Amino acid sequence: MVYLVQNKEDLDQQLADAGEKLIVIDFYANWCGPCKIIAPKLEELALQYADRAVVLKVNVDENEDITVEYNITSMPTFVFIKNGEVLEIFVGGNSDKLAKSMEKYVGGTDVPPEQLQTVSSSPSESGASSSGVCELRSHAEAECEPAMDGEGVLEN
Distance CA 68, CA 79 (A): 14
Distance CA 48, CA 156 (A): 25
Q: What is the pLDDT of residue 76?
A: 98
- Active-site residue, selected from the candidate residues 32, 39, 66, 81: 32
Q: What is the pLDDT of residue 145?
A: 55
The number of beta carbons lying within 10 Å of the beta carbon of residue 115 is 9
- Whether 108 shows a pLDDT value over 80: the answer reads no
Residues, the chain:
156
Helices (H), the chain: 8-17, 33-48, 64-69, 95-106
Residues in CB range of 49: below 8 A, 6 or more apart: 22, 102, 106, 109, 110
To the query of whether residue 35 is one of the catalytic residues in this protein, the response is: yes
Q: What is the pLDDT of residue 111?
A: 46
- Whether 116 shows a pLDDT value over 60: the answer reads no
Q: Kindly report, residue by residue over 19-73, the tens digit of the pLDDT.
A: 999 999 999 999 999 999 999 999 999 999 999 999 999 999 999 999 999 999 9
The number of beta carbons lying within 10 Å of the beta carbon of residue 7 is 13
Distance CA 43, CA 65 (A): 25
Distance CA 54, CA 81 (A): 10
Q: What is the pLDDT of residue 137?
A: 63
Q: What is the pLDDT of residue 130?
A: 42
- Active-site residue, selected from the candidate residues 11, 24, 35, 106: 35
Sheet with 77-82, strands from edge to edge, namely 2-4, 53-59, 22-28, 77-82, 85-91
Going along the chain from its start, the domains and CATH numbers come out as 2-107 (3.40.30.10)
To the query of whether residue 144 is one of the catalytic residues in this protein, the response is: no
